Amino acid sequence: MNISNRIITASLAMCLIAFISGCNKLNDLVTFKMSYTSEVTVPSSLGINLPLDILTPPISTDSESQFSGNNTSKKLVKEIYLENVDISVNAPEDRDLSFLSSLHVYINADGLDEKLLASAENIPDNVGNTLSLTTSGEDFKEYIVQDTYSLRVKAVTDKVISEDVDLSVKSGFKVKAGLLND
């Protein structure tokens, strides 16, 4: 084997080692989902087209347990993106969401500014009793690694509702994090 063939062989071997090392770095990441559900009540109202702000009680993230169960930790989380927010009617059973004109859901946690999570505008009258909101596309890592967070739901109605409406807010997050060293 001449010197140029040896150089080519050695170069290819180094490229192969670098490629395999790069693949192993990809394997050092874990992706998993975290889901949360909270309840809010839209109070009966006499007016329409007025924004109503509804706060949820603090929602426990149980993040440390979920991270541990996925072989990672809070400090290894790279990003947490919202995949979906679905609003559905819990009560009264015969109620739909057609009374809503728009809906915005904000997230907040201790020491952090409030941030838009998801929203829906121009909600149609034939919406039914479940609505999927448009997510903001933001990274919510700082909020979900906290022990708790809260939601603020800003609802604008375009119909008078004569009784309180209980809603369920279901949020699904996608987490990307590094793996713990074995």
Dihedral angle computed from the Cα positions of residues 94, 160, 107 and 68, in that order, rounded to the nearest 10 degrees: -10
Tell me the CA end-to-end span of the chain in Å, nearest whole number: 43
Q: How far is the C-alpha of 153 from the C-alpha of 72, rounded, in Å?
A: 31
| Per-residue pLDDT band at 24 (split at 50, 70, 90) | very low
Q: Residue written as tokens 């050092």?
A: 28
109-134 pLDDT, tens digit each: 999 999 999 999 999 999 999 999 99
Mean pLDDT of 67-78: 91
Average pLDDT of the chain is: 85
Cα dist from 84 to 70, 118, 122, 171, 174, whole Å: 21, 8, 19, 6, 9
pLDDT at 144: 93
Q: pTM for this structure?
A: 0.80
More confident residue, 57 or 49: 57
Task: Judge whether residue 27 has pLDDT over 60.
Answer: no
